[in-house]
């Protein structure tokens, strides 16, 4: 009887702590154009365990599919921050932000205004 209870507890614990090979999530990442899209997706994909990363220029939503056994959201966010893009509540360092192309300065309102509607153009291609 004790053995059966031990096995049952072990199975419940294993199921509870199982990690997902195809975890899906989305997060907000700041950017303004196609160059930003390429940089954000590349930074995400270079994270070991990320299977898919698609960033939408209009909504700033990054959709991810990743293996939780190989990586986590913090690691993915760190790679995005390192290439100069703000992620949800975290800001890229000034050094990283200043490394992005001048047309990609998403913190500058004038640059944002210049790129208004770019996401619509991207969708028409």
Class of the domain covering 20-124: alpha beta
Q: Which residues contact 99 (CB under 8 A, 6 or more apart)?
A: 83, 84
Ordered per-residue pLDDT tens for the chain, 125 residues: 666 565 656 555 544 456 788 999 999 999 999 999 999 999 999 999 999 999 999 999 999 999 999 999 999 999 999 999 999 999 999 999 999 999 999 999 988 888 876 655 544 44
Q: How far apart are CA 43 and CA 95, in angstroms?
A: 17
Whole-number pLDDT of residue 16: 46
> How many CB atoms sit inside 10 A of residue 103's CB?
15
Task: Label the pairing between strands 23-28 and 50-55.
Answer: unpaired
Q: How far apart are CA 27 and CA 23, in angstroms?
A: 13
Whole-number pLDDT of residue 124: 43
Whole-number pLDDT of residue 115: 81
Name the residue ranges covered by the structural domains of the chain. 20-124
Supply the pTM of this predicted model: 0.78
């Amino acid at each position: 009887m004790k053995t059966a209870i031990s096995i049952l507890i072990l199975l419940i614990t294993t199921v509870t702590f199982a990690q997902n090979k195809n975890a899906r999530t989305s997060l907000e990442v700041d950017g303004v154009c196609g160059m930003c899209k390429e940089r954000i997706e590349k930074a995400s994909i270079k994270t070991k365990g990320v299977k898919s990363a698609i960033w939408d220029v209009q909504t700033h939503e990054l959709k991810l599919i990743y293996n939780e056994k190989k990586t986590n959201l913090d690691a993915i966010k760190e790679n995005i921050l390192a290439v100069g893009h703000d992620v949800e509540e975290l800001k890229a360092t000034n050094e990283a932000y200043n490394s992005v192309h001048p047309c990609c300065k998403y913190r500058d309102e004038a640059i944002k205004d210049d790129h208004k509607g770019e996401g619509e153009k991207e969708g028409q291609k």
